[in-house]
Structures are given as structure tokens and as C-alpha cells.
Homo-oligomer: A and B are copies of this chain.
Amino acid sequence: MKVSELSRASGVSIPSIKYYLREGLLHSGTSTASNQADYDEDHVRRLRLIRALIDIGGLPIAGVRGVLAAVDDEGTKMHDAFGAVMHGLAEPPPAEPPRDVAAALAEVRRWLRARGWRIKSKAPAPHALAELIVTLRQFDFPVAMADFDAAADAAEQSAEFEVAYSLAKPDRTAAVENMLVGTVVYERVLAEIRRLALEAVSARMQSNKR
């Protein structure tokens, strides 16, 4: 298909497509005799992935490039590729966090060990969680790691289904891409469901007063 058709099929504007081509996020189309490029369904899918990472995952272009490199690197083992795309979704943790964050990080690591969750040392998530805990405490929320056990149990159950679903994909790239889309999109789905629940419960609890 021509670039105009690619734009229609993917919902991405032609200037954005040209920008992603220049930035190397989207692989070139096949050159045709008429000095045009020919694109296919892989391009449509890749454009949707780029848009999901930017619009839903909130990644900057450099972040998208890093994550896509991990998706495309056929040389890495599947689990390492899963890790690379997940770690690419966030900034790398600072080498020396402030003292309160370092203390919360120690709590998070103890909790992870107690759960038997093996997490790579360069993963940004434990550090991100420690920062969030510090923020909650600054606002006087009482926070203990045990408060997160129920959410962690639910997340683990859902992750078993999601990882198995991704591993069942026909090829490595499809599996990694699936894991990536699932991670970015489902966490937003859960956030939106939480906002809806808060609004609904607030309406119910306050309907007879104030």
C-alpha cells in the first residue's frame, strides 16, 4: 500500500509516519518502480505499537526507540527480551537514591524476596514503587508493604495468564510485542476501572448527605 493508504489504515498522519521513518522507529517500505515506497500490514501493526507506546505508555521517542530495539533484537532470549521491553518503559533508577527512598527500597526488596519474586537488579519498578511509598507517607497515608499483598496476589494470577498467552504466540517477535502491548494497555485499563470505581462509590456514599 502507498503511504496515504498506510496513514488511513493505521490512523497515523503522513507527517508522523515520515517522522517515525526518519527516526528509524518504522522500517522503510519496499521501493517501487515509480519511486514510491510500498508498505504492508507489518507497517500498520508497527505504527499502532508506536502510537500505543506514546499515547498510552507516555514514552518519549527515545524510549520508544529503545523498547522497539529490544522487540526486534532476535539475539536475546525471550525472558531477557521481556525484561528489556519492561525495563525500557521507565527511566533507569538513580544509582544513589535519597535516603528516604533508599529505606523504602529496602522494604520493597524484602517484600519481593518474601514473595519469591525474582526481579533483576536493574529493573526500575522496585525503585519506582519505593518513590511512590515515600510520596504516600509524605501525605500521611499509613503504608505497610503488607497492604499490597492482595493486589500482588491478583497481579500474579493475571500475569500467569498473560505470560502464558504471550508465550503461545507463533514467533518470538509476536510474543514480545504481545507482552509489551499487554503491559502498557492493561495497566491503563486497571487505572481507568479504579477511577470509575472511585467515582461510583463516591456518588453512592455521598448521595444522602452534604
- A residues contacting B by CB (< 8 A) are 11, 45, 48-49, 52, 56, 58, 77-79, 82-83, 86, 89, 98, 112, 115-120, 123, 125-126, 128-129, 132-133, 135-136, 138-139, 141, 148, 150-152, 154-156, 158-160, 162-164, 167, 177-179, 181-183, 185-207, 210
Given A48-B139, A119-B199, A210-B77, also A194-B159 (CB < 8 A): yes
Interface contacts beyond A45-B139, A79-B207, A159-B202: sample of 14 additional A-B pairs, CB < 8 Å, sorted by A: A79-B203, A117-B197, A123-B199, A125-B195, A128-B192, A129-B192, A136-B181, A136-B185, A148-B189, A151-B190, A156-B197, A162-B198, A179-B198, A190-B190
User: In the complex, which residues of chain B have a beta carbon less than 8 angstroms from the beta carbon of A155?
Assistant: 190, 193-194, 196-198
Nearest B residue to A161 by beta-carbon distance?
A: B201
For A135, the chain B residues whose CB sits under 8 A away are: 48, 52, 56, 181, 185
Instruction: Please give, as numbers and ranges, the residues of chain B lying within 8 Å of A178 by CB-CB distance.
Output: 139
Complex: how many Å from CA A98 to CA B139? 40
Complex contact A198–B78 (CB within 8 A): no
- Check B78–A125 contact: CB distance below 8 A: no
> Which residues of chain B are within 8 angstroms of A190 by Cβ–Cβ distance?
151, 155, 187, 190-191, 194
Task: State whether A199 touches B138 (Cβ < 8 A).
Answer: no
Contacts of A177 in B (CB 8 A): 139
Closest to A166 in B: B202
Enumerate chain B residues within 8 angstroms of A45, measured Cβ to Cβ: 139
Q: Is the CB of A198 within 8 A of B183?
A: yes
Determine which of B123, B136, B195 lies in contact with A89 in the assembled complex, contact meaning CB atoms within 8 Å: B195
B56 touches A118 (CB 8 A): no
Q: Which residue of B lies closest to A98 (CB)?
A: B11
A139 & B181 in contact (Cβ 8 Å cutoff): yes
Taking A56-B132, A89-B195, A125-B195 as contacts, is the C-beta distance between A118 and B185 under 8 angstroms?
no
Q: How far is the CA of A181 from the CA of B198 in the complex (A)?
A: 13
A197 to B201, CA, bound (A): 28
| Chain B: minimal CB distance from A55 (Å) | 9
